[in-house]
Amino acid sequence: MRAVQIHEHGGPEVLKLVELPDPTPGPGEVLAKVLAVSVNHLDLWVRRGMPGMPLPLPMIPGCDGTGEVVEVGEGVTRFAVGDKVILEPGYSSGSSAHDEAGNDHLSADYRIRGEHSDGLDCELVVFPERLLTPLPEGVDPVAAAAVPLVFLTAWGMVVSRAALQEGETVLVLGGASGVGSAAIQIAKDLGARVVATAGSDEKLALVQELGADAAVDHRDEAWPKAVKSALDGGACDVVVEHVGPATWEGSMRCLARNGRLVTCGGTTGPTVSLLLPHLFIKNISVLGSTMGPRSALAPIFERVSSGAYRPVLDRSMPLSEVRAAHELLEGRQVNGKLVLIPGS
């Protein structure tokens, strides 16, 4: 099969298209043809290398996507050849207390494909049967590949950690990104008022199309004032933050008393500062969030199937153009998600 591999960390030039032996399923496993695989910021970090976090090389990147079952191993009962499936980004042993409580993403042995082990930038993959979710009938597998990682992450932030309530006000930073576009839709579905930021006229139009009640240009240094203006001088109950140092101070200023800032990462760096009086006088909570429970995939895809959630697909590209895809995402030239097609 064809696959993308990283043999050393660096720029897009380290992404190599190689030929590897076809995998075969063992007992309880499913062999799937990869129909589409999304490109995420995590792929960029893995490719560049993360200081203090050694990764096993060579590595096939790619966290999440969709597939079609082509062979099943002994004992598999839930899937048959020809079934369309969601290729889930995360996995764990399934035996920890967190697993049993439905919080597999909090298990000590939780891992993500394309980071801790080979991912999906290839033509064929083997999955344990229990880590596959059926793709609802009628859902386009290419568009669906843009869903799992970002919607699980946004669900974990908005639903699990921030516990957003109907009628609350939410600020979504980088609303045209994968996580941002998912967070807007989840928050609106829960009955919240949403303000979203974006960095171009096209992206500002997109966040409003996705349901944001107001859109703010974060290229303007005074964007926190614009957020308050959009709220008639009010503040936000929840801030969905995944940008980091470039927006952190403004995000904190936008919070109301008893407000919650929830963050899943920092695309502009790992270090931020906190003014403790601001934190305790306003009774603010700062919440970290990593991924989301795999149990959320079923309700997420039910909403995708019904049209309540829409995958935001910037474009699809052949797997052979993986370098160009990384360059586009790195250059912030993407609205929503990029998806690679291994079979093209």
Please give the model's pTM, rounded to 2 decimal places.
Answer: 0.92
* Model pLDDT for residues 298-313, shown as the tens digit of each residue: 999 999 999 999 999 9
Specify which residues 32 forms β-bridges with: 69, 125
Model confidence at 52, pLDDT cuts 50, 70, 90, reads: confident
Pair (218, 318) in one structural domain: no
CB 193 within 8 A of CB 219: no
* 129, 159: one domain: no
Burial 67-84 (b: 16+ CB within 10 A, else e): bbbebbbeebeebeeebb
Q: Are residues 267 and 336 in the same domain?
A: no
Same domain, yes or no, for 119 and 197? no
- Residue 188, amino acid: K
Which residue bears the tokens 């957020």?
Answer: 227
78 CB-side CA count, 13 A: 14
Q: How many CA atoms lie within 13 A of 241 on its CB side?
A: 30
**Confidence at residue 94, expressed as pLDDT on a 0 to 100 scale:** 85
Please report, rounded to a whole number, the percentage of residues in the chain having pLDDT higher than 90: 85
Same domain, 280 and 168: yes
What length is written for the chain?
344
Secondary structure class of 319 (helix, strand, coil): helix
334: pLDDT confidence band, cut at 50, 70 and 90?
confident
Q: Which residues does 300 contact at the CB level (< 8 Å), separation at least 6?
A: 147, 151, 152, 155, 309
Note whether residue 158 is domain-resident.
Answer: yes
- Residue 262 and residue 331 in one domain: no
Confidence class for position 95, pLDDT limits 50, 70, 90: confident
Q: Side by side, which strands form the sheet with 214-217?
A: 214-217, 193-198, 169-172, 236-241, 255-263, 285-288
Question: What is the C-alpha separation between 310 and 248, in angstroms, rounded?
Answer: 28
Q: Does 330 map to a domain? A: yes
pLDDT tens digits for range 224-283: 999 999 999 999 999 999 988 888 999 999 999 999 999 998 887 888 888 898 889 999
Residue at 294 is within a domain = no
Q: What pLDDT, on a 0 to 100 scale, did the predictor assign at position 301? A: 96
Let me know: does 57 contact 158? Beta carbons within 8 Å.
Answer: no
Same domain assignment for residues 184 and 107: no
The verdict on 185 and 99 lying in the same domain is: no
Looking up residue 42, the CATH number of its domain turns out to be 3.90.180.10
Instruction: State residue 253 phi and psi, 5-degree precision.
Output: -70, -25
Do residue 111 and residue 176 come from a single domain? Answer: no
Residue type at position 83: D
Long-range contacts of 247-255 (CB under 8 A, 24+ apart): 247/173, 247/174, 247/197, 247/218, 248/272, 248/273, 249/273, 250/223, 250/224, 251/171, 251/173, 251/224, 252/278, 252/284, 253/224, 254/171, 254/224, 254/227, 254/228, 255/282, 255/284
- Asked if residue 282 is part of any domain, the answer here is yes
Whether residue 296 is contained in a domain is answered as: no
Calpha distance 148→284 (Å, rounded): 30
Pair (336, 276) in one structural domain: no
| Average pLDDT, integer, range 130-144 | 95
Give the integer Cα–Cα distance in Å for 118 and 62.
8
Q: How far apart are CA 250 and CA 19, in angstroms?
A: 48
Token readout for 184 is 């807007």
Are residues 142 and 129 part of one domain? Answer: yes
Q: Print the domain residue range for 241.
A: 151-288
* Within a domain: 242: yes
Does 299 fall in a domain?
A: no
| Beta-carbon count within 10 A of 323 CB | 17
State the chain's mean pLDDT as an integer: 94
- Characterize the bridge pairing of strands 337-341 and 29-39: antiparallel
208-227 confidence digits (pLDDT tens): 999 999 999 998 889 999 99
pLDDT in tens, 174-190: 999 989 999 999 999 99
Q: What is the DSSP string of 12-53?
A: GGGEEEEE-PPP---TTEEEEEEEEEEE-HHHHHHHH-BTTB
Q: Are residues 155 and 135 in the same domain?
A: no
Within a domain: 304: no
Tell me how many domains the chain contains. 2
